[in-house]
Structure 1
Amino acid sequence: MTAPQVVGLDLSLTASGIAYRDGSTTTVKTRQKDGDRRLLHIAEAVRVAVGGPHVGLGPVPDLVVLEDIPQNSFAAKPISMVHGVVRAVLIEAGVPYALVTAATLKAYATGKGSGDKVPMAMAAYKRAGREFADDNQCDAWWLWVAGLDRLGAPPVDLPAAQRARLDKVKWPDLRGGAW
């Protein structure tokens, strides 16, 4: 049996973090002066990340895990636009996806659902010796870890209480490719 293939996406209009299937990460940066064309740049980066026959890059991943749109936030409107474009890309490619709130992701990674980005980076370093260029990559990597954990192949050891935080997520039904 082959290992599950997961991509993690921490979406933003200015700097989206991507964790690829192999756990490597990057940040897709856009320029404000490009206006809504930034959405096309992000969509193309996601198309490459998920691959698939529709872009000539082999099979699509088993799952993509995205950080959910923040509620009651100034950033919710632009992030919603990015989510709409990215979800359309995923649907077209036939890739199932799950949404994880920031609080759930933080609690999964660190044991606490609040706080700044430093504990996330510290947890990645402590659990996997990983360091990242920015917090977007760190969050995307933790989303990748959560997806692999959900599919039964966790790349890091976490306490059961932290792993149980993933039970709050509405995961797609992956049996038979249905989602």
Structure 2
Amino acid sequence: MRHFAFRSPRLAFLPAAPALARPVAAFYHRNRAAFAPFEAVREDAYFTPAGQAEQLAADLTQAEQDLRYRFYAVQPRHPGKVVGMFCLDCVIRGAFQSCFISYKTDPTLWGQGYGTEGIRALTDWGFANLRLHRIEANIMPRNLRSRRAAAKAGFREEGLARRYLKINGVWEDHIHMVRLNESPDL
């Protein structure tokens, strides 16, 4: 089993593991209303330590299978408080060498560059450690903060996917954004 952890200038990224159930549940619980307009509908159990322990165990299994790498961000001065989630999901190997990125940060950090920092750090980590060629983000057009954060992290728009994901109970259009690994060694 592989375990990964890494840092950016202001954040430490901890790999998903059941031991994080309490701080992760607290992160989702305190930000439930802020995240709801941008997420799938969640069952109440998702916001509990028991629900997160199950999710985190599944995430750990997915990482062992090279399918998903989910990390929780903490600020080093507050290591017990999760302030962000950054994930590389649906890893596809072979000729594609690609995945999707998802992310969210605590609303108290919005507008301070933490999203961009986390997106950039995880993307660079995925390129260097997973040898990915392409990382894709799909963002609702009205989610301007997320679009700006991805663009500042080097993602470029490639088009619009109509009624792409069911978010908060509604099929929503998403802008497809991509960052390519420009390493000549790939």
Question: So what's the TM-score if we normalise by structure 1?
Answer: 0.30
Q: Which structure's residues are more often helix, by fraction?
A: 1
Higher relative contact order (CA 8 A, sep 6+): 1
Q: Which structure's residues are more often strand, by fraction?
A: 2
